[in-house]
Amino acid sequence: MALRARALYDFHSENPGEVSVRENEVVLLHTDQDIEGWLEGTNSRGERGLLPASYVEILKSDPATSGDGNRYANIPSVPSIPSAASDAVPSFSTFSQHPGQHGYQPSQGSDEDWDEDWDDASTVADEPAGIGGLHDFEGNGPSTYRVSTSSMSRAGNAQQAKSSATVSRNLNRFSTFVKSGGEAFVLGEASGFVKDGDKIYVVMGPYGPEWQENPYPFACTIDDPTKQTKFKGMKSYISYKLTPTHTHTQVNRRYKHFDWLYARLVEKFPVISVPHIPEKQATGRFEEDFISKRRKGLIWWMNHMTSHPVLARCDVFQHFLTCSSTDEKAWKQGKRKAEKDDMVGANFFLTISTPAAPLDLQEVDSKTDGFKAFTKRMDESVLHVNATLSEFARKQIAGFKKEYQKVGQSFKALSQVFELDQQAYSVGLNHAIAYTGDAYEAIGEFFAEQPRQDLDPIMDLLALYQGHLANYPDIIHVQKGALTKVKESQKHVEEGRMESAQAEGVRDRCNIISFATMAEIQHFHRIRVRDFKAQMQHHLREQIAFFQKITGKLEEALHMYDQA
């Protein structure tokens, strides 16, 4: 059964069996089922071969073919994303919609460019084309990530070349499982010396595995975004004052520092959802609204960083929070150390210490599937709530305000007409009606101002969660990859192609990844319940105060008639 698909990007075949396509080229696919991220197809020149599933969109899917089998491997059809909703999101989303944690190109700043004026505009320019411009909903599963060739590290190939394990390697050089180091770790290729201080503990909590709590919890405020200049005013940037509660010492940081830190964290932690930093913006960076919005985004981000038992304690974050802004030498030292950290990717898993009793991998598999379904549904719902609230905000700012003001103006006009009548007994009424008109105009303003108080905060929260939800497909992919390797190794043992000791090693390492994934899922649910509860309460309190303010205004107006 042939399906028509359109190439979203250029793809240059680099290995035998791959087929090149140009952007917008129509390709015939032989199936819509990808094999670890690859699809078999024939390009417009009649060449047949594999091409990355994420590089194409299927043009017209026969509904009969997509209902069966493994939904996970299916390419989701584009129309499942409500277009009105996705249109509405960018204007309200504070957080960047990276196509996936690992699809994000980390800023690899050297010491040299650290000292250069990396302003936000230049970091926007650094962003690879094809990522910065995307704002589609990308949380459906790994096969939907759209990554451009230019942004892809081809590290997978190198790893593939040196592989010597008997368990088959992943064909897909774009696979998160490969890129994250998950595959290398499961196959026993990771090695490094783990200091006691680097150890990350997963413990059994009342609801299953969880990250060991931070024994020294702290928070960090972000205040006073101020415009700073360099080179006699030629270059400007915004500096934020950060004050962690465990040091009480203020440090100044710029957006580029957050960006650098974010890149380090993404690189280091393969199964931890690093909160996205507020998105980059090329223009209007010094406008008050933007600064206030970015600061709020950074506050949310910081909240999620300090709430995470692993992220909160990691060296690079502590360096970021505590290194004096004026001690350039200490800063560079910490920066270099972070960039040379060995315990990243595959080696990160070496640092994880788990409870003695291994997990039931079948249960892990099923829980992972459950979480996958949950995040997909939550992502859709968050998108929908976001679109609804942004529309509601827009209506209040424009329509509701206008309606109340028109009523106010018509009452005021009536009171002016009534003033034409010089009867003494009409004076009080005229004033009271004019006052009522003013009250309605004020209520119109209240409606226009209100979304900032009680809708924007929810939308900021939703944007942060959209970032997390975009991270989870990668995490799930790593977990699923590890589980697949366990199954493969079992089969190989049965077929006598692998020693059972080797297979046990695969299973043990998959157990470690599973503990980490389960702990991360648990953490997600905890902060989700905490955050949504707090935000809904805040929203309702603000709404109550808002309607009470309206009532107060109307009561004032009503009292005017007592003397009328």
Binding-site entries: 254, 256, 294
Binding status of residue 555 toward a second copy by CB under 8 A: yes
Asked if residues 10 and 36 have their Cβ atoms less than 8 Å apart, the reply is: no
Binding status of residue 207 toward a second copy by CB under 8 A: yes
What is the nearest approach in angstroms of a second copy to the Cβ of residue 438?
A: 13
What is the nearest approach in angstroms of a second copy to the Cβ of residue 388?
A: 4
CA distance 176 to 102: 7
H/E stretch holding 545:
helix 500-560
Binding status of residue 536 toward a second copy by CB under 8 A: yes
Positive or negative torsion for Cα 356, 266, 76, 97 = positive
Binding test (CB under 8 A) with a second copy, winner from 21, 178, 298, 378: 378
Binding status of residue 153 toward a second copy by CB under 8 A: no
Binding status of residue 72 toward a second copy by CB under 8 A: no
What is the nearest approach in angstroms of a second copy to the Cβ of residue 449?
A: 16
Q: Which is nearer to a second copy, 115 or 421 (CB)?
A: 421
SS3 (DSSP) at 40: strand
Distances (CA, A) of 133 to 124, 462, 470: 11, 20, 16
Helix axes 255-268, 288-307, angle to 10 degrees: 30
Binding test (CB under 8 A) with a second copy, winner from 154, 199, 230, 384: 384
**Number of residues near a second copy (by CB under 8 A):** 61
Which residues on neighbouring strands pair with residue 292, listed in sequence order?
none
Residue with tokens 């007409």: 417
Binding status of residue 81 toward a second copy by CB under 8 A: no
Q: Which is nearer to a second copy, 276 or 401 (CB)?
A: 401
Distances (CA, A) of 483 to 20, 354, 515: 32, 17, 12
What is the nearest approach in angstroms of a second copy to the Cβ of residue 74?
A: 20
Q: Which is nearer to a second copy, 400 or 515 (CB)?
A: 400
Q: Which is nearer to a second copy, 59 or 414 (CB)?
A: 414
Q: Which is nearer to a second copy, 158 or 417 (CB)?
A: 417
What is the nearest approach in angstroms of a second copy to the Cβ of residue 402?
A: 9
Distances (CA, A) of 56 to 11, 139, 156: 10, 16, 21
Binding test (CB under 8 A) with a second copy, winner from 292, 370, 491, 500: 370
Please list, in sequence order, all residues whose beta carbon lies within 8 angstroms of the beta carbon of residue 321, skipping any fewer than 6 positions away. 220, 242, 244, 247, 251
What is the nearest approach in angstroms of a second copy to the Cβ of residue 417?
A: 4
Q: Which tokens belong to 374?
A: 């949950």
Q: Which is nearer to a second copy, 222 or 378 (CB)?
A: 378
Binding status of residue 366 toward a second copy by CB under 8 A: no
Binding status of residue 423 toward a second copy by CB under 8 A: yes
CA distance 1 to 155: 34
Binding test (CB under 8 A) with a second copy, winner from 425, 495, 496, 501: 425
Asked if residues 107 and 277 have their Cβ atoms less than 8 Å apart, the reply is: no
Q: Which is nearer to a second copy, 293 or 528 (CB)?
A: 528
Residues constituting the chain: 564
Q: Are strands 251-254 and 235-244 parallel, antiparallel or unpaired?
A: antiparallel
CA distance 509 to 320: 31
Binding status of residue 86 toward a second copy by CB under 8 A: no
Q: Which tokens belong to 430?
A: 């005229």
Span 431-450, contacts to a second copy by CB under 8 A:
432-433, 436
Binding status of residue 550 toward a second copy by CB under 8 A: yes
- The stretch near a second copy (CB under 8 A) out of 14-22, 152-160, 254-262, 392-400 is 392-400
Binding status of residue 529 toward a second copy by CB under 8 A: yes
The string over 500-525, giving b where at least 16 C-beta atoms fall within 10 Å of a residue's C-beta and e elsewhere, is eebbeebbebbbbbbbbbbbbbbbbe
272 burial (CB, 10 Å; 0-12 / 13-18 / 19+) is buried
What is the nearest approach in angstroms of a second copy to the Cβ of residue 172?
A: 29
Q: Are strands 251-254 and 56-58 parallel, antiparallel or unpaired?
A: unpaired
Give residues in contact with a second copy (CB under 8 A): 207, 370, 373-374, 377-378, 380-382, 384-385, 388-389, 391-392, 395, 399-400, 403, 406-407, 409-411, 413-414, 416-418, 420-421, 423-426, 429, 432-433, 436, 525-526, 528-529, 532-533, 536-537, 540-541, 543-544, 547-548, 550-551, 554-555, 557-558, 561, 564
